[in-house]
Amino acid sequence: MTTKINETKQAAVKAVIIAVENQQNEEIFDYKIEETKHLAEANKIKIVGSLNQKINRINSATYFGKGKIQQLKELVASSDADLVISQDDLTATQIRNIEKELSGDVHVVDRTAVILDIFAARAKTKIAKLQVRLAQKQYQLPRLHTSLAKELDQQAGAGGASFTSRGSGETKLELNRRTLEAQISQIKKELNDLLEAASIQSKQRQRSGLRRVAFVGYTNAGKSSWMNQMIKHFSDKVASNADKQVFEKNMLFATLDSTVRSIRLRNNRRFLLSDTVGFVSDLPHDLVASFKSTLDEAKNADLLVQIVDISDPNYHAMIDTTKETLAEIGADQIPMIMIFNKADLAGIEYPQQEGENLIASSFDERSVEEFAKVIDQKLFADFKKVRLLLPFDQGGLLNRLSKENDILEQRFTEAGTEIMVELAPEQLQRYKSFLKA
């Protein structure tokens, strides 16, 4: 939870989780509750109770039925809770009605609001902060008549406004629809300007001719750890590897910004490696839309590597979550392999291959080397060794090939420079006029 400016210490917010179980979610209900608890903990919220109800249809007015609402009032009072977190998204009507039933300074939020708070706290770059801010404003728009509509910038830290702060009711400034829509428009304009510059950089990387690999997967599965291991062992620039490391920590959504690094394998084959924002079940649509540029690293990849925390008993559900999110951004047709990570914590032998997939640990040297081999086999399977004869007046082409590929052999002849090089199919087409018979 974002702390207030000038406040050195703030009491932890205490919350009660509410959820509805039905035929649509009964198989993963317990898993979703645990996930919401972890999200709350990542937002420095202490869970002091939970209340569930088995009903086929959610009450459109109060989420729970009348009897459960009474139980909720009693649970909130007995646990001295500040906050109620709904497992499902709530409408403005439901938020207002539940808060009306709960006496005192108790606020009601849903899971999406908690995720938005986490993203606001984790955002570091200007683009990430604007993306989160946009998602927050779009989330607030249909909830103008609830406590979530308070403008919290004066109370929040640099990460952005907090929806779960107990102090949210203290502010006097109300956002009206016109003001909010104007803010959304301004954020979009500013964000588009920054994304255009980022897009130019991305197109430059695409023109490099290098294959692209993107890490995807559930938040906290170990993507940043694998990214750092690949940078450490295979960075294209040996010097200053420490400067190229990405932030990693055992917490949800530790990093929100995509990182792209050039990787050179032992056989000198090169590719671009990127990570993406972590996924979570039911990732808010506004966030998916706002982080489109980051997620495009996955959409534009030649190969996806899904990192799976095999030590988590719910890892099958996490695989499904990743699959659904990739489908949502249009990246579900890209070839993908899996690393079943944290095998050391799961007590499973590693490293070992299962088809194209790998059971491994990011902290194991052998696992890292084995992963590099898997990438090499999968990513460069269609490369072919060819001989090219480049006339001496084509020195620019030789320089380009040297940057994009590993020159295996080179000799000078009367007709020009003869080289042996490995080329991708698209490069073969580009340089076919220089193929040596």
pLDDT tens profile 395-433: 888 888 887 787 899 999 999 999 999 888 888 888 999
**Residues 238 and 145 placed together within one structural domain of the fold:** no
Residue 195 domain-assigned? no
Residue 323 has pLDDT above 80, yes or no: yes
CATH number reported for the structural domain that contains residue 213 in this entry: 3.40.50.300
Alpha helix positions (H), 270-394: 285-290, 292-299, 315-328, 343-346, 365-379
d(CA 9, CA 30): 33
Are 267 and 130 part of one and the same domain?
Answer: no
- Given a cut of 90, whether residue 243 has pLDDT beyond it is no
Same domain, 396 and 272: no
Q: Both 388 and 370 in a single domain?
A: no
Whether pLDDT at 311 is above 90? yes
Is the N-terminal amide bond of 313 cis, ω within 30° of 0? no
Q: Is residue 319 part of a domain?
A: yes
Q: 428 with 364, same domain?
A: no
Q: Give the dihedral sign, CA 112/116/117/119.
A: positive
Query: Which of residues 359, 379, 399 is at a domain's end?
Result: 379
**Does residue 179 lie within any of the structural domains?**
no
Radius of gyration of the chain, Cα coordinates, nearest whole angstrom: 26
The pLDDT of residue 292 is: 67
Residue 82 is part of a domain; what is its CATH number? 3.40.50.11060
pLDDT band at 208, cuts 50/70/90?
Answer: low
Mean pLDDT score of the chain = 83
Q: Name the domain boundary from 336, 357, 379.
A: 379
Per the listing, tokens 């000078």 go with 412
Kindly state whether residue 359 falls inside one of the protein's structural domains.
Answer: yes
Structural domain including 392 reads 384-434
Model pTM?
0.77
Domain count, the chain: 3
- Whether residue 309 is found in the same domain as residue 421: no
* Residue at which a domain ends, from 142, 170, 198: 170
Judged against a pLDDT cut of 60, whether residue 307 lies above it is answered with: yes
Tell me, yes or no, whether 3 lies in a domain. no
Same domain, 62 and 119: yes
